[in-house]
Amino acid sequence: MEFLNQLKEEIRPTKEVLQHVDFILEKINRALKKVKIKAVCIKGGSIAKGTFLKDDYDVDLFVVFNHLYRGKDISKILGKALKGFKTNIIHGSRDYFHLSYKNLLFEIVPVLEVINYKKIENVTDMSPLHVKFVNKNTNKDVRDDIRLAKAFCKAHEIYGAESYINGFSGHILDLLIIHYKGFVNLLKAASKWKDKEVIDIRKYWDDPLSELNQSKTQGPLVIVDPVQPDRNAAAALSYENYDKFRKAARDFLKKPSIKFFIKEKTDMDKLKRISKKDHLIVLDVKAKKGKEDVVGSKLKKIFEYLLKSLNNNDFKVLHSKWEWDKKDKAAFYFIVKKEKLSMEIMHPGPPLSKKENVAIFRKAYKKTLVKQNKLYAKVKRKYIEPKKLLKDLFKEEYVKGRVSDIRLL
């Protein structure tokens, strides 16, 4: 698979990016020193591990506070040190800051120095320890393979632990590549994964499923975190994305190709061709502003609500998909089978044994009939055209409250 070696070269970041990161890092450390805060800013995430993807412009920086700050509002303290920077505060379980510089988006996250993982104040406090583990257990070849795994998952739209994705986080992929000793080895293993797979790199537990908290092992993949053994690093992964990864692994191994690393763009001409005899519905959606995870979750909920409503009204959805640029533009796609629906539907009522309810039901509906000892009413179908249903749904508060605008194209 010579093309994998070429791809490794193509997805490595340039040294120029690292220079920009070092520049901001030094500026923040000078600012911390100036206001006499006992904290140090360090590289975090993939930039610190050396698994940073080319053209991936999100950079994590951790400001590690001395454990003496335990119990104090370290976000507020960090905010004072960053007064000279043009930052945006992002609210969360612990507030952090966004800073843009040279086409890079920096996430500046305050964390506490960890003395005992069982007494951490916030899950992000463990992040610097994740970096140390990965750096200790990887070399250049392993880091290249981690990048391949990220590119593979991005192409299949299963990369990221955010709640609107529920996919493979960078941390999961780090651990999987380390555990299986390479990208191709990971795919070979994944192609044979069971419906429930358990990985314990450091062999902390005899039986992780019985020894970890049950709430943390509900998903399809359990990876005992090597620096926090009471945590499942893959807890956010959905069954849907787990299955997508297993299938993609099997398909790649049957016929390896560079196409598995290229995200398929929505081709409107192709959609028009495959929906020639059916309804192609495209919705133009303007997202609200806010934290990425929150905005993405709102878009996903609206998409799923519209899809469910179409199905509940007997429209057969043959294909559905949604896209978002992680700013303000999103699009929803539905291909709905073009078929003539009956003008009337059967509305279920009470069983005949519930005489009082039967009387009320017959009073409410003129056309009733009995099927298998249960009463039904013939009522006029409200929607026989999917676009009319969608237009009415757009007016509902559930939809209006989660997007800035939504309309049919």
Spatial CA neighbour of 13 closest among 61, 63, 49, 62: 49
CATH of 137-264, one of 1.10.1410.30, 3.30.43.10, 3.30.70.920, 3.30.360.10: 1.10.1410.30
The CA-CA-CA angle for residues 332, 334, 335, to 5°, reads 155
Which residue ranges make up each domain of the chain?
A: 13-115, 137-264, 268-340+384-408, 344-380
pLDDT at 320: 94
Class for the domain spanning 344-380: alpha beta
83 is written with which tokens?
């007064």
Rounded Cα–Cα distance for residues 138 and 133 (Å): 9
Class for the domain spanning 268-340+384-408: alpha beta
pLDDT at 143: 97
213 is written with which tokens?
């908290």
Chain mean position to CA 56: 16
For residue 235, the one-letter residue type is A
Rounded Cα–Cα distance for residues 159 and 279 (Å): 31
pLDDT at 119: 85
| Intrachain domains 13-115 and 268-340+384-408 with the same fold | no
- What is the mean pLDDT of each successive set of 10 residues along the chain, which is 409 residues long? 93 89 96 95 95 88 95 95 93 92 93 90 93 96 97 96 94 98 98 97 94 92 96 96 98 97 87 89 94 92 97 94 93 94 89 91 88 89 94 96 94
pLDDT at 273: 87
267 close to 133: Cβ distance less than 8 angstroms: no
pLDDT at 37: 95
Which homologous superfamily does the CATH classification assign to the domain defined by 13-115? Beta Polymerase, domain 2 (3.30.460.10)
